[in-house]
Structure 1
Amino acid sequence: MVVAAHGMGMLGLRMSGMLGIRTSGMLGLRTSGMLGIRTSGMLGIRTSGMLDRINRSSLLSTRD
């Protein structure tokens, strides 16, 4: 498994691997995998899948 870790300073730690896992520190914890699962820690927990998408609120309008 190849994991590429990029230090983004203020944006926190971003880790992207085979499953497309991303971890953001400052904005809370965001994890997206094959199933498109997204989990936000600090701003609350949000889980969305491919067949089940949750509308993005203005507070969580972060573009990658």
Structure 2
Amino acid sequence: MCRFCFHLDCLLRAVEYRAAGVPAVQGKIDRCRAALATISAQRIADAALTLDPTDWPQNRRA
């Protein structure tokens, strides 16, 4: 399970970099998404790929 957490964390960071204008991370995103074996991790990844990282909860200010 922990190794899938690593791939999910890498994917999330790469999505943030892509949103910041770094285009060279798409391969990393694809590899990390392909490495996710649990349905839960795949769903989280799919949501991350669909949403703008600026809309993620840690970026919201009250």
Q: Provide TM-score, normalisation by structure 2.
A: 0.24
Higher strand share: 1
Q: TM-score, normalised by structure 1?
A: 0.23
